[in-house]
Amino acid sequence: MTPIAQNKQENPALHFPALQPPRRYLFGPGPSMVHPRVYEALAKPIVGHLDPYFIQVMGDVQQLLKPAFGTSDGVTLVVSGTGSAGMEAAVANFVEPGTKLAVFANGYFSDRLTEMARRHGANVVRLEKLWGETYTEDEAREFIGREKPKVVAYVHAETSTGALQSGQAICAAAHDAGALVIADCVTSLGGVPVQFDQTGIDVSYSCTQKGLSCPPGLSPMAMSPRALDWLRARTSPVRSWYFDLKLIHDYAAVSHRYHHTAPISMFYALREALLVIAEEGIEKRWERHRHCHKLFVQGIEAMGLRMHVPEEHRIATLNTVCVPEGVDEAKVRKRLLDEPGIEIAGGFGPLAGKVFRIGVMGPLATEDNVQFFLKEFKKMLS
């Protein structure tokens, strides 16, 4: 065997040091901190994507997702890809060319939904509000009653603004009009209640890298019995083969025939993340996040700062704090990253330069971590 060259000229690999990612406190909107048990799961040996062991892992994940989504009647499954893959799957499967889709627009991700739906040939109608505002039941009823869409879409936790949209108001109005409801729960699942059945959602997608304390890479989904009937009744083929939910469901839960090579290690990770959540108890987890959110807001207000979203519409896991007059928010973020290694995010679109976006999720949602963050943040502002 030829010996491995030990000088950089003959062996270019020696130009690249071993991976040594900096230690960060991920207080941004996501990715959030990964639970140590999830890292351990990622290191386990892989099996094949058709191996009975992996089929069992997929089954476990589907089962563990049910309490996280809050569904007993619905079907849960996982799309390979980040949260946007779930969004694309929801749009591709429930929209056909010409389908009227009503979007409750109030931030960046409702715009992304609009763009995807238009690319899939939907006739998109939008109700517009400023970034950070939410919709009331009366507004939802008026809009849906006027437009009579076949499908309605909203973002439950709008990451670009920090606002939480109540789903009940929208779902009740949509169902009265015979429309199906798609809810983006990318930032809510695992951190704040989704309550899929109780709210009346028909299709929901999320991600792994926020409230579930797992790396990015998968998109958990839930579908109501109505949504399944809708899929069965669909006459035109789903334009995206990869995101065809009937094919994915068949592989994951029915025939287990090959659809795609599922990312095995990410399924291990998600299974472990969901087990960690099940052991804590989903309601206790929501309560822990709510408690830390309150402490966070108290600390922020004690510094004389303001929150962007009114109290009753805030996402417990993602805070938007108004940038005080005269403060360069980019500089604050850079110093936080360079010195204590804390990542937070700024605003974008109409909120560029106006808000800090600060996530308090998963392992970071403890009293000590909130106090640690507030102390460092205060230092950087002064």
Query: Measured from the CB of residue 204, what is the shortest distance to ligand PLP in angstroms?
Result: 11
Q: Which pair of structure tokens corresponds to residue 312?
A: 């009753």
Residue with tokens 């939008």: 126
**Residue 187 within binding range of ligand PLP, rule CB under 6 A:** yes
Q: Which of 90, 186, 221, 344 binds ligand PLP (CB under 6 A)?
A: 186
Q: Which of 140, 132, 77, 69 is nearest to 106 (CA)?
A: 132
Helices 329-338 and 367-381, packing angle to 10 deg: 120
What distances in angstroms separate CA 302 from CA 258, 263, 297, 298, 334, one per listed residue?
56, 46, 8, 6, 23
Residue closer to ligand PLP by CB (options 70, 217) is 217
**Residue 181 within binding range of ligand PLP, rule CB under 6 A:** no
**Residue 273 within binding range of ligand PLP, rule CB under 6 A:** no
Residue closer to ligand PLP by CB (options 365, 374) is 365
**Residue 87 within binding range of ligand PLP, rule CB under 6 A:** yes
The residue of the chain with the least Cβ separation from ligand PLP equals: 83
Query: Measured from the CB of residue 56, what is the shortest distance to ligand PLP in angstroms?
Result: 26
**Residue 329 within binding range of ligand PLP, rule CB under 6 A:** no
State the number of binding residues for ligand PLP (CB under 6 A): 13
Scanning 2-10, 57-65, 82-90, 191-199 for contacts with ligand PLP by CB under 6 A, the matching segment is 82-90
CA distance 112 to 17: 38
Residues 196-225: x/- map of binding to ligand PLP (CB under 6 A)?
-----------x--------x---------
Residues 91-120 that bind ligand PLP (CB under 6 A): 109
Residues 24-53: x/- map of binding to ligand PLP (CB under 6 A)?
------x-----------------------
Residues 144-173 that bind ligand PLP (CB under 6 A): 155, 159
Q: Which of 55, 58, 64, 81 is nearest to 218 (CA)?
A: 81
List contacts with ligand PLP (CB under 6 A).
30, 82-84, 87, 109, 155, 159, 184, 186-187, 207, 216
